[in-house]
Structure 1
Amino acid sequence: MADPRFIGLVHSLLSSAEAALGEEHSPMARHLSRDGLLARRTGERSLGLLLMLQDKTRGNLDDTEQSALHHAISTLQARLSAPGTPPERPDAPS
């Protein structure tokens, strides 16, 4: 049975990254200013934490937990590589 705390943690990391990256459907979006470099760093930091969770919990998650984690990682990886995402450095080409 899925642990709601784990699912909540995964969704929290995804929501904070989406809000920082400007996803309008994110419940946290209205609380953040739009700083491109900070947004990218926040997204990358959340992705790093999700990847660490995936590594540290490998073999210990049920199907629901694994699916939620995989979805969050895939979503952030796609968002960070999408056109219009702030570059890694202010002078980097888009």
Structure 2
Amino acid sequence: MPNPDFVGLVQSVLGAAEAAMGEFSPVQASVARDGIKTRATVERSYRLLSMLAEKTRGNLDRTESELLGGALATLREYLSTLEA
């Protein structure tokens, strides 16, 4: 059974990155879609979740692992669109 605190942490970090990407705020999206602040926030979130994945490797249940992997994939995909 997934730890609710772990799930909340991953969702919180991902939510901050999504907010910076404009996922939750159309106004923010129009102001900083490809701005430096957006990229820095997403990169910071990605690094934090990557570190969390490294430090918890082998200690997560399947649901936690899939949640963390999905969050990392979402951020990786967004960062790759900024580089294109």
| Runs of at least 5 residues in structure 2 that lack an aligned partner in the other structure | none
Distance 2:17 2:42 in 1: 4
Normalising to structure 2: TM-score of the pair?
Answer: 0.85
Report matched runs for 1:1-94 at 5 Å. 1-23=1-23, 26=24, 29=25, 34-35=31-32, 36-82=35-81, 85=82
| Runs of at least 5 residues in structure 1 that lack an aligned partner in the other structure | 88-93
Q: What fraction of aligned residue pairs are identical, expressed as a percent? A: 48
**SS where residue 45 of structure 1 aligns?**
helix
Question: How many residue pairs align between the two structures?
Answer: 81
Distance 2:5 2:22 in 1: 25
Q: Which amino acid aligns with 1:72?
A: A
**C-alpha RMSD of the superposition:** 1.9
Assess, with a 3 A threshold, how the Cα gap between structure 1 residues 8 and 31 changes in structure 2: closer, same or farther: farther
Moved more, 64-73 or 32-41: 32-41
Structure 1 segments of 4+ aligned residues over 4 angstroms from their partners: 30-33
